[in-house]
Amino acid sequence: MVPQDLRFAETHEWAKIEGDVCTVGITSFAVEQLTDVVFVDLKPKVGDTLKAGTAFGEIESVKAVSDLYAPVDGTVTEVNKALAVDPSLVSAEPYGKGWLLKVKVAAGAGANLKSPADYESQIATQGH
């Protein structure tokens, strides 16, 4: 089930925009494809600028290593430090405690992202 209060990147990151803060994570579909997450390498530090579509880190599972891509432009305000200690939070709670970054965004950010319905259509064609 795709949460209805989020927007989605083609690369399976989700964005929850509340005012000028965007919380970023990866979708449960991505977690299912990766299987058990064993390591999360988040490159940006607080104050770094992200550009939508550019890689900001990597996520490693027992099956693969995948790049993580920024769904929006903005300035990093928080990095989920808990993932360095317990990367399995991404697997256990991809829409909760497994979030990756918080980013300060400009008004109108996320206009390029998919709606929940469009993302459901995308993953339906990807064998889910």
Domain ranges of the chain: 7-108
Q: Which H/E stretch holds residue 49?
A: strand 49-50
Question: What is d(CA 62, CA 53) in angstroms, rounded to the nearest whole number?
Answer: 25
Cα–Cα distance list, 73 to 1, 13, 51, 55, 88 (Å):
27, 13, 4, 12, 27
Q: What are 46-93's pLDDT values in tens digits?
A: 999 999 999 999 999 998 899 999 999 999 999 999 999 999 999 999
Task: Tell me what percent of the residues of the chain surpass a pLDDT of 70.
Answer: 98
Q: Shortest CA distance to 99 belongs to which of 114, 81, 112?
A: 81
What is the tens place of the pLDDT at every residue in 6-32?
A: 999 999 999 999 999 999 999 999 999
CATH architecture of the domain 7-108 equals Beta Barrel (2.40)
Residues 6+ apart with CB under 8 A from 2: 8, 27, 116, 119, 120, 123
Would you place residue 128 in the very low, low, confident or very high pLDDT band (cuts 50, 70, 90)? very low
For the full predicted model, state whether its pTM sits above 0.85: yes
Q: For residue 82, what pLDDT is reported?
A: 97
